Chain A
């Protein structure tokens, strides 16, 4: 599971959960795999991200590298910055671990890179 996906996932569909975001990450196995860099795409994604959540997620799994604390000015034309974001967003893959609902503590297992967000009947 990439951190771009983590930035979108919530546990809001659960009964009794009001925000369910961000999900905490317990990463047991993290892998980095190369993904083609498309600066336009990354520039287009940045305004849609919750930057604090991305930063916090990367920090919590020890993959911050040199990602700046805040989005910089004129990021669209700063290839160096876009590459750093690309790396954290697209190339860091959580292979095994859990996502944890911030309100209920419910764990969503990540196995072999796949987060399992299926809820039981009594949870919806």
Chain B
């Protein structure tokens, strides 16, 4: 066990985060719910000590749910990578509200604009990637490949449970150790108008990948 802020306090901090104003469906903009995000981050720090004092990246950082949580848990520096400037604006307001100075954001396309100088630069890479819909299937796998390239130690990520065997096979072929730390239910919000129901419950796996 590693020192960590109380789970309850972390969750309270994450509850205060402002969300996407007008979520862009093509970019799969939804916030990691504070309950889920706080449990993820609490596990990453208390069980594995992979946040405090670390250089952390958050791919597709959105409004900052994971970045801010990692910064609150005393990452030395968290760098968010995000394509959308509207999301970045909310991200920055959230950082100011939380009075955090150990956070950076780079506006870029995670799939195209992260140069090789960043390879192995980060101790820990976090992400809740776009899962990929009909039009951009496999986006989460491309995010995962980038995450694995940027990390010198571990990647923590969420992927649909339905893709588990595929992910395990893919990472095994890369010589990466993959562990499913938890199976979760994720309530995709009703802002996703193309879904008929108010919200859709999907099953996701919370992974730890060791490079």
By a beta-carbon cutoff of 8 Å, the part of chain A in contact with chain B is 1-2, 4-5, 8-13, 20-21, 33-36, 38, 40-41, 45, 48, 90-91, 112-119, 124
By a beta-carbon cutoff of 8 Å, the part of chain B in contact with chain A is 53-55, 74, 76-77, 79, 83, 85, 88, 92, 101-102, 104-109, 112-118, 121
Q: Are A1 and B104 in contact (CB under 8 A)?
A: yes
Complex Cα spacing A117 to B111, Å? 12
CB distance from A53 to the nearest CB of B (A): 11
Q: Answer whether A118 and B109 are a contact pair too, CB < 8 Å, given A8-B118, A36-B102.
A: yes
A38 contacts which of B53, B83, B104, B106 (Cβ < 8 Å)? B53
Contacts of A2 in B (CB 8 A): 77, 104
Complex Cα spacing A11 to B106, Å? 13
Contacts of A45 in B (CB 8 A): 55
Q: Are B106 and A36 in contact (CB under 8 A)?
A: no
19 more A-B contacts (CB under 8 A) besides A4-B77, A33-B101?
A1-B104, A5-B104, A5-B106, A8-B121, A9-B106, A9-B115, A12-B115, A12-B116, A13-B113, A34-B101, A36-B74, A41-B53, A41-B54, A45-B55, A91-B101, A116-B85, A117-B108, A118-B107, A124-B112
Contacts of B116 in A (CB 8 A): 10, 12
Q: Are A118 and B53 in contact (CB under 8 A)?
A: no
Q: Are B77 and A117 in contact (CB under 8 A)?
A: no
A118 contacts which of B74, B108, B121 (Cβ < 8 Å)? B108
Contacts of B114 in A (CB 8 A): 13
CB distance from B108 to the nearest CB of A (A): 4
Contacts of B108 in A (CB 8 A): 116-118
B117 contacts which of A1, A9, A113 (Cβ < 8 Å)? A9
